[in-house]
Amino acid sequence: SQAEKGGFPHFMLKEIYEQPEAIRDTLRGRLDPESGRVDLSDAALSPEFFEGLRKIFFVACGTSYHAGLVGKYLLEALAGIPVEVDLASEFRYRDPLVDEGTLAVVISQSGETADTLAGLRLARDKGARVLGIVNVLGSTIAREAHRVIYTHAGPEIGVASTKAFTSQLTVILLLALYLGGLSGRLSPERARLLARELVEFPGLLQKLIPKVHPLLKELSEHYFRQENFLYLGRNILFPVALEGALKLKEISYIHAEGYAAGEMKHGPIALIEESVPTVALAPRESGVVYEKMVSNIEEVRSRRGPVLAFGTQGDEHLAGLSTDFVGLPPVSWEISPLLYTVPLQLFAYEMAVRRGCDVDQPRNLAKSVTVE
């Protein structure tokens, strides 16, 4: 009903707007911005649980899998632990190299996804420690994991995951800060700076969402008739490109592919023409990969492909190169997946609405996939 949607036309839009609050709830009591210290005692986690850890395996499906991919970038960089990421449906059938030195991190909004649950059981049987990142309290995955960090995003009704994803990213950032501190790889100064930025992030997002929403709605007017999209990102924003493309295809039924921009030459560039727009993620703060993204955008433009670029506000160079430009505030590398995800959700939402799609209940999809 309208009341349940809190005045929003769809649950998905309500849940997009709830993200600042959801992230605040995820962080609550777990991060001290003064010291930069992370406290995961609500999940019964202490340094002993991580003793002798040699490898981390993220196992998940769908959007939750994309959170795992971001986790690889974060944990390897901040904590220096080798990370593998697997789709649960692959992991469970391939006899993965898992042993007592492995931490399996199983990510699931619902806590009921059949393949993810099977992956959890396999990892546990092979002697791994299993940590769940779960939204639904008391769900099967939450009960069967050795430990669980709840995302506390609140109930998510829209089939396409939004606030659960950004809450998962937040938990993974907390885990990276925690393990970075334990390993000594993350300096206390850097931890403090990141903690402060993370605590301030919900406020930033709260101001940003109502500001960029009208712009994305307007842009959807230019793009909604297209049937093929390419989403490009690099480094930690590569999984965000995958997630952006997944959102668009899930709810608007537009074919969209996420690609690592460096792979463009190995296939997708063959598709570029006037009727195939590219969504490019190119924050100026991303160092060497910024220049690489700029080259990729030039390559698309020279083949007459339209480019909708998301980058750092005030980046006139990028804005000039692109067909359309959405400027976002500068943030640290670690926080950038959280930030860049949100306008892509709004874009997918507005595209689906213009196409008259059933945003909250897309055809053929289920909120929770409890059978294989």
312 binds ligand G6P (CB under 6 A): no
Q: How far is the CB of 185 from ligand G6P (least distance, A)?
A: 29
The active-site residue, picked from 5, 55, 292, 367, is 367
336 binds ligand G6P (CB under 6 A): no
Q: How many CA atoms, within 13 angstroms, populate the side-chain half-sphere of residue 214?
A: 3
What is the distance between the alpha carbons of residues 218 and 221, in angstroms, rounded to a whole number? 5
Backbone angles phi, psi at 219, to 5 degrees: -65, -35
**Binds ligand G6P by CB under 6 A, chosen from 19, 116, 170, 336:** 116
Q: How far is the CB of 57 from ligand G6P (least distance, A)?
A: 16
365 binds ligand G6P (CB under 6 A): yes
The piece of 28-36, 153-161, 256-264, 313-321 that touches ligand G6P (CB under 6 A) is: 153-161
Number of residues that bind ligand G6P (CB under 6 A): 16
Question: In which residue are the tokens 């792979």 written?
Answer: 263
Chain-centre distance for alpha carbon 325: 21
Active site includes 249?
A: no
What is the distance between the alpha carbons of residues 322 and 135, in angstroms, rounded to a whole number? 38
DSSP string computed for 38-95: E--GGGT--GGGGTT--EEEEEE-HHHHHHHHHHHHHHHHHH---EEEEEHHHHTTS-
Decide if 237 contacts 292 (C-beta within 8 A): no
**Please, which of residues 40-59 interact with ligand G6P by CB under 6 A?**
none
62 binds ligand G6P (CB under 6 A): yes
Q: How far is the CB of 67 from ligand G6P (least distance, A)?
A: 9
Query: Which is nearer to ligand G6P, 147 or 301 (by Cβ)?
Result: 147
Single-letter amino acid, residue 291: E
**Binds ligand G6P by CB under 6 A, chosen from 19, 102, 108, 341:** 108
The piece of 31-39, 109-117, 207-215, 340-348 that touches ligand G6P (CB under 6 A) is: 109-117
What is the distance between the alpha carbons of residues 32 and 35, in angstroms, rounded to a whole number? 6
Q: Which residues are catalytic?
A: 367
Binding site for ligand G6P (CB under 6 A): 61-64, 108-110, 113, 116, 159-161, 365, 367-369
